Structures are given as C-alpha cells and as structure tokens.
Structure 1
Amino acid sequence: MTTTTDTDIEVHDPATGELVGRVRPADAGDVDEAVGRARVARDGWARTPAADRAGLVRDAAGALRGVAEELARLNETETGRPYDDGLGGVLAAAGTMEQYAELGPVHRGRSLLGSWSATDLMVPEPRGVAAVITPWNDPVAVAAGLIGAALVTGNTVVHKPSERCPHLGRRFAELVASFLPEGVLEIVDGAGPTGAALSGHADVDLVAHVGSIAAGRAIRQAAAGTGAHVLLENGGNDPLVVDADVDPRWAAEQAALGSYANGGQVCVSVERIYCAAAIAEPFLDALAEEAARWVYRPSAAGEKALGPLVDRRHREHVHGHVAAAVADGATVHAGGVVPDGDGAFYPATVLSGLTPAMTITREETFGPVAPVRVVEDFAQGLAEAIDDPHGLAATVLTGSMNNAQQAWRELPVGSVKINGVFGGAPGGAAQPRGTSGTGFGYGPELLDEMTTTKVVHWSPLP
C-alpha cells in the first residue's frame, strides 16, 4: 500500500500492511537539477563510441544478474509480486539490456542513390535527454528495456520509477548508473506531480512512459508544448476469444494463466473472455476449478502462487468492477469476495453473464478476474472483441486457420496471440494502438524510437 503524507511517500508491504519505508518526492527544483545534469552529460555521452557505450550497459547487465535475488525479494515486499515471478522479471531485464548492448553498435542509417558525384546519408542520432517513467507491475524489466535502449543509442536518461516501488526503482537505477559517467543516468522519486514536472520539462527531448491511460494523455498534452518525442504503453482491455473447436479444459487453463498471472496485473493480462456457447458450460466449470488452484503464497504442489494486489486502493478498484457486474446480473463461479485479514489479497475470480455495457467489459480491471461472456459463435466473439477503443493485445484460441487469419487481420491491436496467452520470441516488438499508446516499446524497433534521423546531402565543390 502506498500513501502520501505532507512530505513523504510511505510504502507498505501489500501482504502484511507493514511499513517498508518512506521516500521524499522530488519537487520541480529537484527535477530541474536532474535534467540539467543529464543535459550537461548529453554531448559527451553521444560522442562516446557506440561499442564503448554498449560495453558499459553489458557490464551493468552482468551486475544486475548478481543481485537478482535481492531485487526479486524487494519487488515482492513493495508490490506483492511472487518471488519466482519477480526473479524471472529481473533475469529478463538483464537479458534485455544485453540484447540492446549487442544491437546498439550495429544500429545504423542508410545511403540514398542520387547523382554520381553526390552522397546522401540518413544518419541516426540520439534525441538527447530521455525521461523514462516506469510502472510497478514489472518494474525492473520495463525500466531495463527503455533505459538500456536509450543508453546504447547515446541518450542520457532521467528515470522516475513508480511511487509504489521506489526503493526497488532506485536500487536498480543506481546500480546501472554506477557503471556510467556522471549525469548519464539520473533518478528522481515521486508520484504524479514529479512525473508531470519531468515529462513537461522544456529540456527533455523524449518521454517514454508505461502506465495509465490518464497519465499517458497528460504526457501527450505536455509534449505538444515542448516538442518532445513521446513513446507510450498505456492501459489495455485485452480480449480472449475461445472458439467452439478447442478443448474446453485447455482453454480454461489458458484463460486462467492470462487472467491470474501476477494477480492479473500484467499489461497484456486477459481482461475479457468471449466463449462460444457450444463449449461454454464445460469451459466455465474448468475455469472455476483452475481458479481454485491459484492461492495466496506460499502455494503447495499443484497450486499456483497468487500474491496480493499492489495495495488496498487498487483492490477497491478491482472489487468495484466485480461488484458492479454482479449488481447488473453477472454470476460468480469463483472468488468475488474481499477476504478478511491484513494485506491487499483478492481471490481468483470467475464471472459469467457479462454484457457489452458493463464496466468490467469496457474498462481495464487489472486484477485476478476472468469475466466470461458467452457468445453464439467465434464470429460474434471476434466482432465484440474488436469493438473497443483500446489497442494493446488480444488472444484467440482456435483450430481454424480461417478464423485465426481473420482474427489477426481484423483485431485493431498491436499484438495478436494465437493459441497461447503469453509467449513470443525474445526481441519481439510491440506497438500499441488507440488509447493504449503509441510507438514501439520493445524489440530492435525501440532503437529507432530512441533516435532521430538527420539527412546529409554532400556534394563536391564545382
């Protein structure tokens, strides 16, 4: 749980409610000083050979592996993410930084064919000072990707981690900064006001943000005044469409994984499920059985760990969606009740009887809730999945090549997953659409976002 006093941000363990620590938020003056230091360091870092920049990032990634267990424990303490999941996130972060250390030196421009005696070049250059504002749900992996890509392409960085895990964010950033020249990576603590001061700063050239739609919208407006390039991954309302020709138990396992992993607090969590009527009954029965396997830590053999939500304020949001759906006629098959005791736990929940107008169908819940709408067939499920302003990701489970082809062609999202709610090749890109964001957030394409192109036309003297 995160609370703000007159001067400090207090962070509490979401499993116990115990105080983890207090952090003083950076004010506008602190932000100005951090951006100023990054500005001073900008030219020297940009002129550092790309291979040397990459070598320092690679060294930092190796050090990150050495403290992975420590960071995973701190992640669990501040956000409730189960230790094994958090450890995987830290190791993925190290791998991402190593990947960008390899890709950075070979990120290149191109030449253009013009007249015989002239040369035209398109040269990538760093944008300058990058503001990197990261979330609490996968804090190390997200920060590592954005910061790693920014650094290897010659940008300096001011990083603001989420106020819900400030100790983890600072530990990570200070570790990476210890391998870099002074001013190349700065860190500021704080909540919304700090983020606003940073993203709207006149000397920031790029803002990369992963977080809420409201914050992303404010960043777009601020950047319109400063001219900063904006890279956003914001909220999603990711659908899962279940065809009538798949095994309902397997489909239920996929739905549970997509809905309950990290307590449903994943950017690409399954948020709404459309199941063909022909298999709806066995699917719902199997999904309720799967929900019973996701239990509060620690879990026994055959069970899966379901940590607490990040804080009680977020739990109120999640339960509010569930309670409103039930009041409007939804049926609870599992969970749906706020448990007694300390912490911010919420049970794995299964609902049916959803309608398109319900809040839980239209908005991101971001909790361990699997809301199921029974539809006549795949075509109806796909049509309703498409009817949404978000555009992050979607999943379809089908044995039909025709249905799979139609789905990935028509779904207006950045990523479509066929017959698997998670996965994807290392280095894969993602480009959200609609209210879910703009720009590439992963993959080699992220290096393009972190750079701007200068065209040079070079002709000889007459």
Structure 2
Amino acid sequence: MTLIDQPTATGTPRQETPDADGSRAITIVDPQDGTPVGTVHSADEADVAAAVQAARQAAEGWAATAPAARGALLHALADALAARADEVAELNTRETGKPAGDARGGVDAAVGTLRQYAELGPLHRTHSLRGADVAVDYTRPEPRGVVAAITPWNDPVAVSAGLVGAALVTGNTVVHKPSERCPHVGALLGEIWSAPLPEGVLTTLTGDGRTGAALVASAGVDVVAHVGSTATGRAIAEEALRTGAHLVLENGGNDALVVDADVDPTWAAAQAALGAYANSGQICTSVERIYVHADVAEEFVAALVLEAGSRNADGMAPMVDTRMRAEVHRQVAAAQAQGARVLAGGEVPEGAGAHYPATVVVDVGGDSDLMREETFGPVAPVQVVASFTEGLDRAVASRYGLAATVLTGSLEHTTEAIRRLPVGTVKVNAVFGGAPGGAAEPRGASGQGFGYGPELLDEMTTRKVVHIGRPVLRTAG
C-alpha cells in the first residue's frame, strides 16, 4: 500500500534523494520560482516503529495526567507557536505557495484552535445514567491510545493544530506525519510543539507515501486521523479493517454551487470567484462545479470572466507544485476536447514555478472529470440549468459529500436544498464562513467522523459504561 496526498501527474518538483547514509530524503522547491527550499529525511519503517513504540510507552503516563494539566500544556503549545508565527507562516508560503496573508491567518487559526481545545478538554463531560436508586451508573471517557495524525499541505498549520490538539488534550499520544509537500513546515511544528511535552507524547515523522503507509499499517496505532485525498482515505480505511484502528477522515470534495434566478448575478459571480479561486482553488471546500439558472446565466458568466481576469491581472498565487498543476490542466484540456469552451485562463504559463491562471470553463459536459472529480485548482466550470430544481438535482448527483452552497432568496428553495443535499455542510448565500466550533461530518467519498469542533474530542476518546451497585457486606461474627 502506498499513501499519496493527491493524484500523481508529471512534472513534479519534489525529488527523492539519498541521505548521507543512503536512506531516503525529500527535496522541496518553492512553487513561486522553483528555488530550493531544502531537503528532509524521509522516515522508513524502522523510524515509524520506533516512533509508535515511544508513543505507546508514553501513553499510560500521559493518560494519567490531570486534564487541567494537559490543557495547560496545550496553552503552552499555543504560546510557543504564537511566538514563532511569522517564521512558520513564511516557511509555509515558501513551501506550498500559500499567499502570505493566508499563511499567517492559518497560524493564527492554529493558535486559536489549540487554545479552544485547551479549554474544552478539561470540560469534556461524562454522562450519568438512570438506574436503580441504590446504584451509580455513568459513562467514563478514556483516551483511545496512540493517534496517527496524517495532515495535508493546503492548510498544514491549522489542520495539524486541530487533530494534534484534540488528541493530546484527551490523553492520547500522537505520531504526526505531515504531507510530503510541506515536510519543512511539519518538522518545524514538531520542534515547536514537542518541546513542552514529555518524551514520546508527540513525535513528528517527515516522509513520503511509504512513511504514511507504514504508520497506518502499525498494529500499535489506535486512531488514524487523516485529512487529504479520497484515494489515500480509501487506502487507510482498507488497512484499518485489518488493524482495527478508529478512523477520522476528511477527504476529497467536489463541492457544488447552485445559483438561483432571483439573486444578483454580479454578486453571485463574486461569490463563485471567491469559492473557486481562493488559495488558487486549493481549499477542501472550494467551489468545484457551478450550476447557474438560465435567467441570470449570461450576466453571471460575464461577471465571472471579469472576476477571473482581475485576479490574473493582479497575479494569482502559485499552486503547490507542477505535479498538481499538470493534473488540473489535464482536466481542463480534457473538458475542452469534449466540447467545453474556456473563456478565461486555461493555459499553463511560461517560466519557473507552478502558476496557473484563474480559469472559467462553460458548456462543460456532466460526465467530464472537471464536473465529476475533485479538481483542486483555480477553475470554475459552469453549467446552465433551466430551473433551481435541475441545478439541485445535478448538485446532489455526486459520490462526494463534503459541502455545497446555494445562492437564493427563496425560503422554499433554501429548505429544499438543506433537506436534499447529501453533504456535511450546506452553506446558503455565502461560499465560506460559519460560526466557530462547527463540526461537519463528511459523507460518501469525502470521509467519515467529526474532524473539528467539540465533537472531535468524542472521536479521540472511547466511552466505558460504569455500574456501581450496593455491596452485601459480611456480618460480624
């Protein structure tokens, strides 16, 4: 089994090279201009086994640590990250191409997430149960043991803080394997976060897909928490059938946007552009396919082309690497070959780096990869529909179930969409946003389990039912 975090295409700038001792190493280049970022060791099976063993040895002592003390240590992790926020954000931008403001925002979100779990962990409640008056019945949450946290490259700091923070504060030990696309960010997080913790409580392993495969296959791992591609999530789920590990998976999405006839088409186009082009389309809940009502389609498409042109004139941030760019362009070119028309972007620019323009594609066939699969790039494919119901029907028809958005002024259409869309998150009149602490449960090919919010504490623990009855004591004499 090999675990990779996105489909393979040609032209990868990431190179596997030997360490000084002949073992594996990973070299990363800056997707902005192709200059080297650095080389890290790629952990092998022996490294994985040692990390899992250390986590297992530390598990009993960490689980016995008072919840308030674990929460205090999580605050210490947040403090340590905040103190080096600029350094982490800058490295993230160099390694993944994430815009500087977004990269710093991800660090700030990570600090907030660690503080949230530092406070929620000690308050993680049990339940009392109604039994006999002379007995005591309740549930007791207990840590599951060793958590393998396998995190992505598109938001590596905030996602890592969520999975690692929730696991640690509930008394689990963690082996963290960051994406092979951002191993330097992962290694730096490991350095920052492991310093305040007891030995073995948090270990970070940089490495490629073989490192992840060895970690998932370990019998010493009790939970696998993974954010990444559907292909990797499926491979993890198959391995978990053998190991019995509990799974928390947030995998690929193909999020739909349905534009109703009664909304302002220029506003709708701005929402579509935000959803499709933010972070160069490399967000788990990016807008991946658009169904626009025929009554506003002409104005909507014209406004969307202007939105794309404005972003291209300002200069889009690069994609994470040329391997990912090649896959995105393959989908666009294949749609063109099937009759689709590209109205903006759609061409691989010359020069160094992994840039790809904001792209608008119309007349896209429903059976094309651009509409059926996760694209994960700055592409807005549009289909015109005759009614809101037709658009909703097409949005529902997907194997993915991460999120979806509807733009409508109709309460009837809003409630219909909320009821019918088989996704973890339904957004109405905003492609991004939501209250803090929200925890969505993806469906279908998009994963399983709660990966965020207070519910993640439940995923990281198992419940034991306790019944204490009244004893019959021995009588004297």
Larger CA deviation: 114-123 vs 46-55: 114-123
In the alignment, which residue of structure 1 is the partner of 2:376? Answer: 366
Letter in 1 for 2:323: R
Structure 1: segments with no counterpart, 5+ residues: 300-304
- The residue that corresponds to 1:239 in the other structure is 256
Who is 1:419 aligned against? 429
Cα distance in 2 for residues equivalent to 1:180 and 1:8: 27
1:8 pairs with one of 25, 34, 39: 25
Following the alignment from structure 1 to structure 2, what is the Cα–Cα distance between the partners of residues 3 and 244? 49
- TM-score, normalised to structure 1, is 0.97
**Whole-angstrom CA distance in 2 between matches of 1:184 and 1:8:** 25
* 1:100 equivalenced with 2:117 (yes/no): yes
CA distance in structure 1 between the aligned counterparts of 2:91 and 2:193, rounded to whole angstroms? 17
Match of 1:68 in 2: 85
For the pair 1:208 / 2:225, whether they are aligned, the reply is yes
Question: What is the rounded CA distance, in whole Å, between the counterparts of 2:88 and 2:311 in structure 1?
Answer: 24
Q: CA deviation at 1:295?
A: 3.5
Question: How far apart in 1 are the matches of 2:358 and 2:56?
Answer: 47
From 399, 409, 412, the equivalent of 1:389 is: 399
Could you list the runs of 5+ residues in structure 2 that have no partner in the other structure? 1-12, 19-23, 473-477
Alignment partners' CA distance in 2, 1:439 and 1:174:
29
The alpha-carbon deviation at position 210 of structure 1 amounts to 0.4
Cα drift, residue 141 of structure 1: 0.4
Q: RMSD over aligned Cα, in angstroms? A: 0.9
Identify the residue that residue 302 of structure 1 maps to in structure 2: none
Aligned partners of 2:190 and 2:471: how far apart in 1? 50
One-letter code aligned to 2:392: L
Is 1:317 aligned with 2:317?
no
Residue 328 of structure 1 corresponds to which residue in structure 2? 338
Aligned residue number for residue 126 of structure 2: 109
The answer to whether 1:146 aligns with 2:163 is yes
Once superposed, which parts of structure 1, at least 4 consecutive aligned residues long, lie more than 4 Å away?
Answer: none
Give the aligned partner of residue 162 of structure 1. 179
Match of 1:256 among 273, 295, 303: 273
Structure 2 counterpart of 1:345:
355
1:47 aligns to 2:59 (yes or no):
no
C-alpha distance after superposition, 1:393-424 (max 9, x if no partner): 00000000000100011000000000000001
AA aligned to 2:107 is: V
Q: Distance in 1 between matches of 2:443 and 2:392?
A: 18
How far 1:5 sits from its partner (Å)? 3.1
Is 1:171 the counterpart of 2:183? The answer is no
Q: Distance in 2 between matches of 1:127 and 1:170?
A: 25
Q: What letter corresponds to residue 86 of structure 2 in structure 1?
A: E
Identity of aligned residues (%): 60
Query: Given residue 390 of structure 1, which amino acid in structure 2 is its aligned partner?
Result: Y
* Structure 2 residue 388 is the aligned partner of structure 1 residue 378: yes
Distance 1:5 1:173 in 2: 22
SS of the residue corresponding to residue 430 of structure 1 reads coil
Aligned residues: 455
Rounded Cα–Cα distance in structure 1 between residues aligned with 2:452 and 2:348: 36
Q: CA deviation at 1:138?
A: 0.2
Q: Find out whether 1:443 has 2:460 as its counterpart.
A: no
CA distance in 1, matches of 2:191, 2:259: 45
C-alpha distance in structure 1 between counterparts of 2:311 and 2:176, whole Å: 34
* Amino acid across the alignment from 2:320: V
- Hey, what's the Cα distance between the residues in 1 that align with 2:454 and 2:419? 23
Give the Cα separation in 1 of the matches to 2:387 and 2:296: 10
Deviation of 1:3 (Å): 2.1
Displacement of 1:306 = 2.3
CA displacement at 1:242 relative to structure 2: 0.3
Contact 1:245–1:399 (8 Å) recurs in 2: yes
2-structure distance, mates of 1:55, 1:293: 46
Cα drift, residue 22 of structure 1? 1.1
Name the counterpart of 2:3.
none
Name the CA distance, whole Å, in 2 between partners of 1:120 and 1:346.
60
- Counterpart CA distance in 2 for 1:5 and 1:432 is 37
Q: Deviations over 1:306-356 (max 9, x none)?
A: 211111011100000000011111111100011011001000000110121
Contact 1:261 1:306 in 2 (8 A): no
Q: How far off is 1:445 after superposition?
A: 0.4
Q: Which moved more, 1:382-391 or 1:12-21?
A: 12-21
Matches within 5 A, 1:8-47: 8-47=25-64
Tell me which residue corresponds to 1:293: 310
Could you say which residue in structure 2 is the equivalent of 1:434? 444
* Pairing of 1:165-204 with structure 2 (within 5 A): 165-204=182-221
What are the superposed Cα offsets for residues 352-394 of structure 1, whole Å, 9 maximum, x if unpaired? 1012111111000000000000111111000000000100000
